[in-house]
Amino acid sequence: MTQASFCLADFATEARARIDAALRACLVLGPGCPDQLREAMEYSLLAPGKRLRPILVLMAAEACGGASQSAMPAACAVEMVHAYSLVHDDLPTMDDDDLRRGRPTCHKKFGEATAILAGDALLSLAFEVLAKELRPPQVAAACCAVLAEAAGACQLVGGQADDVAGQLARGGIDQLESIHRRKTGAMILASLRLGAMVAGAGARELAALEEYGQRIGLAFQITDDLLDVCGSEATLGKRARKDSHLGKLTFPGLLGIEESNRRAQQLIEEACDAVRPFGSRGKGLEAVARYVLERNR
């Protein structure tokens, strides 16, 4: 990759093809897996998402001087946890959504029981892939711990639990940020940490990536809220204006559209500053940060 003229669109197209091939290979499961369950897992995992988190894993590894292919099991694992969280988030008992990634949600296509089980199986598969395919085993174990914490009761699941309990309908900016730091930010941060760990990053490199991740995680959520207000269902591939309909706190709802845009821009500038010490190897991460601000889905 010649970083001086980094083109995110080209990198992402090539990386998505490699990631999807690796994800597909992970779905070659034993004879005990029923056909419908495997189909539901494949339907959700390979649906046309942005693959933001696995791309961050690969970029973080490269920024720290590692080979992106050695980080591929970690990239697959984060996308599996992400896909599981989307399948469960869409269920009638949670957000009750019909559309995801431009297609009927998993439970609409396969029924609720199969969707719950497909999510469960994707979560387990993520850790199986990390534990069996990452080398050396000490790094695999450390990555399992980081991903488990990010996906667990104090982070992803905890943020979702507070959201489901209606905490997103009251409180102020601190409450809003606390929920999104856990629901959205934790998995973005974990993606960067995993890439760094696979590449054997030092403490300074890890700290820079964490600073970057905290900022793009929050900016990602602000743009998600802005897209919910300003975007269309056709472009988003999911229901628009759903947060305001549900009476949830959002950044534009609390701060207004202009101030939300300003905050997102500031966070992205800070994120780019954090990865500047990586020099040309950090250009991909800078490009992703700018994409977070400009994305339309």
Q: Give the interface with ligand GRG as residue ranges (CB under 6 A).
A: 49-50, 52, 82, 85-86, 88-89, 101, 156-157, 160, 183-184, 224
For the record, the structure tokens of 276 come out as 């500047």
Q: Which is nearer to ligand GRG, 205 or 224 (CB)?
A: 224
Sign of the four-CA dihedral 266, 268, 271, 273:
negative
Q: How far is CA 251 from the centre of its chain?
A: 19
CB of 187 to ligand GRG, least distance (A): 7
CB of 161 to ligand GRG, least distance (A): 8
CB of 82 to ligand GRG, least distance (A): 6
CB of 88 to ligand GRG, least distance (A): 4
Q: Which is nearer to ligand GRG, 95 or 205 (CB)?
A: 95
Q: Which is nearer to ligand GRG, 21 or 141 (CB)?
A: 21
Q: What is the CB neighbour count within 10 angstroms for residue 205?
A: 20
Half-sphere exposure of 42 (CA within 13 A, CB side): 15
CB of 43 to ligand GRG, least distance (A): 13
Q: Which is nearer to ligand GRG, 3 or 148 (CB)?
A: 148
Sign of the four-CA dihedral 189, 195, 196, 198:
positive
CB of 101 to ligand GRG, least distance (A): 5
Sign of the four-CA dihedral 251, 252, 254, 255:
positive
CA–CA separation, 251 and 164 (whole Å): 18
Q: Which is nearer to ligand GRG, 140 or 192 (CB)?
A: 192
Question: For the chain, how long is the longest CA-to-CA vector?
Answer: 54
Q: Which is nearer to ligand GRG, 14 or 67 (CB)?
A: 14
CA–CA separation, 11 and 1 (whole Å): 8
Q: Which is nearer to ligand GRG, 49 or 231 (CB)?
A: 49
Can you say whether residue 217 is alpha, beta or left, with left for phi > 0 and alpha for psi between -120 and 50 degrees?
alpha
**Closest residue by beta carbon to ligand GRG:** 49
CA–CA separation, 54 and 71 (whole Å): 9
Task: For residue 241, give the DSSP letter.
Answer: S
CB of 33 to ligand GRG, least distance (A): 22
